Amino acid sequence: MSTYAIGDIQGCFDSFHRLLDLVRFDPQRDRLWLVGDLVNRGAHSLETLRFVKGLGDAAVTVLGNHDLHLVMLAEGHSKKRADDTLDAVLAAPDRDELLAWLRHRPMMHVEDGYALVHAGLLPQWSVAQARALAGEVEVALRAEDYGEFLAHMWGSEPPSWRDELTGWARLRVIVNAMTRMRFCSTDGVMEFKAKGEVSDAPEGFLPWFAVPGRRSADHVLVTGHWSALGLKIEPNLLALDSGCLWGRHLTALRLPGRKVFQVDCSGEDVT
């Protein structure tokens, strides 16, 4: 049995399938850990959702910002963007079933010293605390009145965590850290405009994983989201978004052992 952690797919279904063939993935024996952003920008979000859902317990996927955008768009709480490629999902006969399945995915998965999360964790959060906070968001997403949460979920305020936060503001900070964050200050103030390389960090900010004393450093964090960062392998960080959407590579990393597998995405059909 092998576990393969795989970077952002974003509807690049052909590359995803070629990567699974490369590692000889067997759903009866192996497991996939997917870092989120299954959908959008690539041409085959519908096929990707159907396939991953069909894998059942053989695949663990956490929610990314594009996945949440799809759920919000379907419920009328987000505006369609010019580069969205989600029409096929929204028009599919199994749309409601797929969206319900997606809405019930975890924000974070913790197992055997690893923590799987789309973007990252704020430096003051331990993994145990972050897992509990993720659970608060999951309850809101799975509730009968989840649309009310979706109506208040997006936005960049407040920009940092405080234990006394309540209501929509509390949940919004959790979502933003786990699905949108790249840079933050040493005291955990998030910056959402910069999307480039580490060298492009705005003044006073640094990559979330480089904050001294980060409390989650006792686990190996498995993340995606940051294509400009590229594949980054450190003792306590496995950043796996290697830019398939941009014609670079889709990456799988076998756990444990950290053997890297990649396919070229230059021929992928993307917008």
Task: Write the CB contacts of 43 (distance below 8 Å, at least 6 apart in sequence).
Answer: 11, 12, 13, 85, 268, 269, 270, 271
CATH number, domain 3-264, options 3.60.21.10, 3.30.930.10, 3.30.70.3000, 3.40.50.1820 = 3.60.21.10
Question: What pLDDT score does 270 carry?
Answer: 65
Q: What are 253's strand-pairing partners?
A: 5, 260
Q: From the first residue on, what is the mean pLDDT of each consecutive set of 10 residues in the chain (271 residues)? A: 97 97 97 98 96 98 98 92 94 98 98 98 98 98 97 95 97 98 97 92 96 97 97 97 96 96 87 57
> Over the stretch 181-218, which tens digit does the pLDDT of each residue have?
999 999 999 999 999 999 989 999 999 999 999 999 99
Predicted TM-score (pTM) of the model is 0.96
Question: What pLDDT score does 78 carry?
Answer: 86
Question: What pLDDT score does 271 carry?
Answer: 57
